[in-house]
Structure 1
């Protein structure tokens, strides 16, 4: 048999005689960077906190929507429009339709973040203005032929459809009134401030609500509403006929002493006595609600 003198072959034979477990230990100890990468591949690292999972937790669309929201809103433009186009209990809707500043204000309501408002007065003023402005905006979508908001969609859909945007969220007028304004503020005076674009609604205030005087504005509106003989009639001879608002939202008034106690703050002593006795005797009736558009 021919003798093997090749050094490389001799080395190969020597290595073959080394136990496998020793080889494994040596391999583990001297693991190169490339091997480490193979042990924990990039795909595995990505799977630990994948981009798709991060996106699902805070989706790009949500992040973009949050980023797009603003932290300030100016009611000055809306204030100027109200002063120019509200005439007593009537509204010049055409005046709002022709004004680009109104469209910008509606956009501002949609992109403003209400969570940045920390005081009750700030939030109350914002939401009342938002409700009234969006109601006007809703009316403008159906002019010039609109006769009544009741007829826009079946079953008062004008108030139920989420056709508006507030703080980046789709909302209906009912969402604003019944899910935010009423439960958060628990102030029945808002019923004299929220205008539903109808003849029997309390007239729209000819100025925007502002935090510094929202309390005085609400008080002014409610007093005017209670004493408005077209909407509430308290007469010792002719009897008591109230707006349906006092019936529909009786729970709101009950939480504030009841309709009699609440209204009496604004009535004369004689009227308050008449209201009290009529309510006790069950002789209070409610006026039919006129849903015709309150246009000028």
Structure 2
């Protein structure tokens, strides 16, 4: 069994004292906050960016402990810069989505999960899954309100862990505000140039369904081609024909694809 590191006790102590302590100037404190999540990713993300959910079951206590620590944390717009806040919500979303899948594992797709509430069964995207600073959030609320509406950065779609085989490969570490630009650029570059998700030729591109689903954020076809070309090893011509591939919601487990479903989580 993995032995907890002493700094976990320090983190718990800080969280119990006051959420204000996590305001700090203070990338070190934020790094400490996310370290349990980062350790889990380092242990359970495969070389090709899939998740070993079966292995995560054995470490569920550490995952739940990380999510519980967020109850005392509230991003502070005065003391946190935009990258600190963006990295924070990416980590919160990814850990909460992972925890939800682990609770129902084995499951063929996250879309198969239905959570029992007083009002009836609810979609995994709409049910409250994490408490941050005393307020509960669903995955859709985090994605829309805390990330997309705040930052208007389409790269987040290659960092969010949708639990889907056609989603971007998972990064084997937590996001950190101090390195976030490089991390998001690397995630985007890795996804765009991986033929599993996108096939690029100068005159023709078959792009992931993610680009189609979030077309409002990527802009017109000319703007989308310009975005892809910022990261592509094989640049597209301005006149390239663009088609979109179907998106598989099969679980991004280490076992690989088992079925395909349309991109229709909302």
Q: Which range, TM-score by smaller chain?
A: 0.7 to 0.9
Cα 1:290–1:156, aligned 2, differ >3 Å: closer, same or farther?
A: farther
Structure (1/2) with the larger helix percentage: 1
In 2, Cα distance between the equivalents of 1:163 and 1:258?
35
Task: Give the equivalent residue in structure 2 for 1:232.
Answer: 198
Q: 1:248 aligns with which of 188, 213, 219?
A: 213
Match of 2:62 in 1: 101
- Cα distance in 2 between the residues matched to 1:81 and 1:221: 19
Correspondence 1:122 to 2:111: no
- Per-residue CA deviations over 1:251-273 (Å, capped at 9, x if unaligned) read 21229x821111111124x5321
Alignment deviations for residues 37-62 of structure 1 (CA, whole Å, 9 cap, x no partner)? xxxxxxxxxxxxxxxxxxxxxxxxxx
Superposition map of 1:80-159 within 5 A: 80-87=39-46, 88-99=48-59, 100-115=61-76, 117-144=79-106, 146-153=107-114, 157-159=123-125
Stretch of structure 1 that moved more, 112-121 or 209-218? 112-121
CA distance in 2, matches of 1:68, 1:147: 40
- The equivalent of 1:191 in structure 2 is 157
Q: Does residue 1:291 correspond to 2:249, yes or no?
A: yes
Cα deviations by residue, 1:238-295 (Å, 9 ceiling, x for unpaired): x42111111111121229x821111111124x5321xx323xxxx4221111001111
RMSD: 2.4
Query: CA deviation digits over 1:207-241, x for unaligned, max 9?
Result: 1111111110001000111111111111257x421
Once residues 144 and 153 of structure 2 are traced to their aligned partners in structure 1, the CA distance between those partners, rounded to angstroms, is 12
TM-score (norm 2): 0.76
Q: How many residues align?
A: 221
Name the CA distance, whole Å, in 2 between partners of 1:156 and 1:260.
Answer: 37
List, as ranges, runs of 4+ consecutive aligned residues in structure 1 with deviation greater than 6 Å.
none
Q: How far is the alpha carbon of 1:160 from its aligned partner?
A: 1.6
Can you give the 5+ residue segments of structure 2 that lack an aligned partner in the other structure?
Answer: 1-16, 23-29, 116-120, 255-266
Q: Which moved further from structure 2: 165-174 or 198-207?
A: 165-174
Which range moves more in the overlay, 214-223 or 103-112? 103-112
Inter-CA distance 163–222: structure 2 relative to 1 (3 Å threshold): same
Q: Answer yes or no: is the 8 Å Cα contact 2:202–2:236 preserved in 1.
A: no
**Among 215, 229, 235, the residue aligned to 1:271:** 235
* CA separation of 1:162 and 1:132: change in aligned 2, threshold 3 A: same
Q: Secondary structure at the match of 2:76?
A: helix
| Separation of aligned partners in 2, 1:253 and 1:101 | 36
- Do residues 215 (structure 1) and 181 (structure 2) align? yes
Taking the TM superposition and a 5 Å limit, the aligned residue runs for 1:158-177 are 158-177=124-143
Q: Is the 8 A contact 2:96 2:129 kept in 1?
A: no
- Equivalent in the alignment of 1:44: none
- In 2, the alpha carbon distance for the partners of 1:142 and 1:90 equals 17
Gaps of 5+ in 1: 1-66
